[in-house]
Chains A and B, each alone.
Chain A
């Protein structure tokens, strides 16, 4: 009898506890764990332009203007902007009642301090280079005066590259990498365990921008429906997929082609194609023979079969496209494209004959990212067909990038242009201004870029960009092999996820 009573009491207790937790189960909330490739070098948004960092920081911090789904600059923390007739003064009207994660209301003092900090220590100083002065005009208005007209100023202010995040003024007074991670974003920082994870939680006082009805790129309505999000760093690709398949994580930020194909066949997962995500570019060193010779550079371009290059390096998620902006951009043009993807050995040999190439071995540097190594290998075998010897040097990213920023030790260097095409034609051009990428200044590119940055006329900007693309091919400044994408994967518990450059955790819900 005593046992029966105990059993009854136990059953009753169990039922009441189930009833007690039931409302929690049904309500929105829960935690989403995202498997990331690696940890961020910093969570101070001003000091890093690494993709792994912005995946996290763009949940914590916001900018005055942000890029929407089509990469256009739209208001985020600002309500709007008025530009003076001479194009030199931008007056930003701030949204009122926006709270920082420490409870303080954002005012013009915070915006001024943040922009000033970025001018001092921001890692992409080009974004703010045009600024002359930044002044507060009352608590909710900030005036930015430029030294000279700049056609891409709003693009720069809204760039997610190393975002000009708005920090509380007291944080903005601190040095690089020394801030508390306080922003105005929909998530607030909870914990960072290096080599393990970053945890963020829903910022309860966040009020989505009332100007928007729905999620739109990195702007729009940022409504948080989950409680927490954890970015877990799993460097090993197989382990990342295993974590998804065992249910330990709900989202993987990127998987390779064969894994994506396998998961696509399983109804438990949704594979999202983010294409185009980036350009694949082979930089050519104009400061070193034989790539200093335009005919040699043209021989290389003529020999390459871009279908082969892209399909081997980014199987199942690539576009053979030679334009120096993404295909849907209003700047997309076909200038110079008759020289793209020729796959013509005869023509290549013709150019080679006109060049100063004397049979020397050409050096191709690449970091150890698999697709980059694949591209180097494909180019090597292709060029062998026209009698050009290529030596591939693979090292880690710090080593490769160090060599690539010098005039010696390399002829070809391949890597993705990730954020540049998303930022738009101005940034793509800037990479080649002053010979930054190709090591020898190209006066024509410099002239086009200078005019582009100075004009506010859209038609003229388009015309100048066309000239830029034509020049890229005519002087074969660098080779664009194509566009590539990435596969983001969610499991069937994640609802309302819309793929984008960064895995946005606003608007997303989690099924119990």
Chain B
């Protein structure tokens, strides 16, 4: 187990190096630089050159790259050109919001998805099964930005129950925080609920047809007990795999949700960085997100072993 962990952690290094190289390449390939955010179209090439020099963008790319790597090795991700603060603190300041949002959405998606999938599987072919699966398909097909706007129109504009956007820090006002997170969480979760429900249903159908389920039934155990005690744990592997994938996808979808609900999360930070060509922010942000992605993968793999004793971490 310890060896496995160590091996996995070491294998992260080349991945991070590759990601950073690729992000450098992308930055060089896409035209435009941070001066575009500061200047309008009537600026002259001389104005642009002057600003480039002031922002330190006039150094050759290779020099910039070498400087960046030497800083990163000491844990310094550089300074954001637009925000004027270290990239790492910009990310760390925004991270709790995005992580909370993704975690809450994951919780809601797994909770509702597994419940709906199990419910449908135990009523295979019935009207209830078909209705739940139709709903799941609908959830899967709904574009999240559209669903977010729909929620805003209904719950903010029509009923006035919840804020239409903006963020209230948890420590400042817990109730306000909960209210500000509710609609974004639902929006982020809706696609994944459908995904998990369908996955759970098919995994449960496989399990239900197994001998040990019939044995449990013939012993006269109550139906719900059989499902929860014997069925679900055995259907967990595919559900866990999907959950792992979703956890990563949620970080990506969070960008859209943060945009719709005007939440200052990491997604918006990096999108803003890309749109304004804030190089240090793009570089640092991508590197940081990669680390989180890899961590999630590692956790899922460790959970495999915890859930299924047949999996050996060798």
Contact B36 A401 (CB under 8 A): yes
Segment touching A, from B102-110, B227-235, B270-278: B270-278
Rounded to whole angstroms, the CA-CA distance of A404 and B265 in the bound complex is 33
Which 3 A/B pairs are nearest by Cβ-Cβ distance? A398-B32, A398-B36, A402-B31
Contacts A123-B47, A248-B156, A417-B42 known; A195 to B275 CB distance under 8 Å? Answer: no
Most B C-beta atoms less than 10 A away, residue of A51, A176, A194, A248: A194
Q: Are A239 and B164 in contact (CB under 8 A)?
A: yes
> Contact at B259–A196, with CB atoms within 8 Å?
no
Chain B: which residue is nearest A194 at the CB level?
B83
Contacting chain A: which of B48-56, B204-212, B213-221, B306-314? B48-56
Residues of chain B contacted by A125 (CB below 8 angstroms): 46-47, 50
Contact status of A399 and B31, CB under 8 A, knowing A41-B38, A246-B163: yes
B262 with A246: CB separation less than 8 A: no
Is A243 close to B, CB under 8 A? yes
Considering only residues 412-426 of chain A, those with a C-beta below 8 Å from chain B are 415, 417-420
Shortest distance between the CB of B153 and any CB in chain A (Å): 6
Instruction: Tell me the count of chain B residues lying within 8 A, CB to CB, of chain A.
Output: 51
Given A234-B165, A398-B33, A401-B32, A42 contacting B38 (CB threshold 8 A): yes
Q: CA A124 – CA B275 in complex, angstroms?
A: 22
Query: Which residues of the other chain, A, contact B90 by a CB distance below 8 angstroms?
Result: 194
- Chain B residues contacting A126 (CB-CB under 8 Å) are 44, 47
Q: Roughly how many angstroms separate A437 CA and B45 CA in the complex, as a whole number?
A: 10
The answer to whether B43 has its CB under 8 Å from any CB of chain A is yes
Q: 1/0 per residue A242-266: CB within 8 Å of B?
A: 1101111000000000000000000
Residue from A246, A405, A430 within 8 A of B48 (CB atoms): A405
Query: A194 to B273, alpha carbons, bound, how many Å?
Result: 11
Q: Does A275 contact B (CB under 8 A)?
A: no
Extra pairs beyond A176-B54, A399-B32, A402-B32 (7, CB < 8 Å):
A195-B262, A239-B261, A243-B156, A243-B164, A243-B165, A248-B164, A401-B32
Task: Return chain B residues, CB-CB under 8 Å to A395.
Answer: 31
Contact of A398 with B152 at beta-carbon distance under 8 Å, contacts A48-B39, A124-B47, A196-B264 already known? no
Contacting B54 at CB < 8 Å: which of A121, A415, A434, A437? A121
Q: Chain B, 123-155, contact with A by CB distance < 8 Å: what is the 0/1 string?
A: 000000000000000000000010011001100
Within the assembled complex, what's the spacing in Å between the Cα atoms of A437 and B54?
Answer: 24
A405 to B32, CA, bound (A): 10
B264 touches A194 (CB 8 A): yes
Q: Which residue of chain B lies nearest to A398 when distances are taken between CB atoms in the complex?
A: B32
Interface positions, chain A 182-196, Cβ under 8 Å from B, are 193-196
Across the interface, A48 reaches (CB within 8 A) one of B38, B41, B94, B264, namely B38
Residues of chain B contacted by A399 (CB below 8 angstroms)? 30-32
Q: A194-B272, A239-B149, A242-B157 are in contact. Are A419 and B163 (CB under 8 A)?
A: no
Given contacts A232-B262, A236-B260, A402-B31, A50 and B166 within 8 Å (CB-CB): no
CA distance in complex: A309, B90 (Å): 43
Indicate whether A50 sits within 8 Å of B163 (C-beta atoms), given known contacts A121-B54, A177-B84, A242-B149: no
Q: How far is the CA of A215 from the CA of B309 in the complex (A)?
A: 76
Is B84 in contact with A246, judged by CB distance below 8 angstroms? no
- Say whether A236 contacts B145, CB under 8 Å: yes
Bound together, the chains give a CA A32 to CA B160 distance in angstroms of 19
Docked CA distance A196–B97 (Å): 13
Chain A 421-448 near chain B by CB (<8 Å), digits 1 or 0: 0000001001100101100000000000
Nearest chain A residue, comparing its CB with the CB of B55: A176
Q: List the B side residues contacting A124 at CB < 8 Å.
A: 43, 47
B44→A239 contact, CB < 8 A: no
Please tell me if B82 contacts chain A, counting CB pairs below 8 Å.
yes
Mask, B175-196, CB within 8 Å of A = 1, is 0000000000000000000000
Inter-subunit contact A401/B275 (CB<8 Å) = no
Q: Which of B37, B42, B148, B163 contacts A431, CB < 8 Å? A: B42
Q: How far is the CA of A248 from the CA of B180 in the complex (A)?
A: 12
Interface contact A242-B39, CB-CB below 8 Å? no
A436 touching B259 by the CB < 8 A rule?
Answer: no
Least Cβ–Cβ distance between B123 and chain A, in angstroms: 38
Report 18 cross-chain contacts, Cβ distance below 8 Å, ordered by A residue. Answer: A39-B272, A47-B38, A50-B38, A51-B40, A121-B50, A121-B54, A196-B166, A196-B167, A196-B264, A239-B149, A242-B149, A242-B153, A246-B152, A248-B163, A397-B275, A399-B32, A434-B44, A436-B45
A contact residues around B149 at 8 Å (CB): 236, 238-239, 242
CB distance from A356 to the nearest CB of B (A): 28
Is the C-beta of A403 less than 8 angstroms from some C-beta in chain B? Answer: yes
Q: Does A233 contact B (CB under 8 A)?
A: yes
Option from A41, A245, A417, A436 in Cβ contact (under 8 Å) with B157: A245
**Which residues between 242 and 269 of chain B lie within 8 Å of chain A, taking CB atoms?**
259-262, 264-265, 268-269
User: Once bound together, how far apart are the Cα atoms of A50 and B43, in whole Å?
Assistant: 11
Q: CB distance B36 to A397 under 8 Å?
A: yes
Decide yes or no whether A26 CB sits under 8 A from chain B: no
**A450–chain B nearest beta-carbon distance, Å:** 16
Query: Nearest CB to that of A431 among chain B residues?
Result: B42
C-alpha spacing A509/B75, complex, angstroms: 50
Closest residue of chain A to B37 (Cβ to Cβ) is A41
Task: Across the interface, name the chain B residue whose C-beta is closest to A177.
Answer: B84
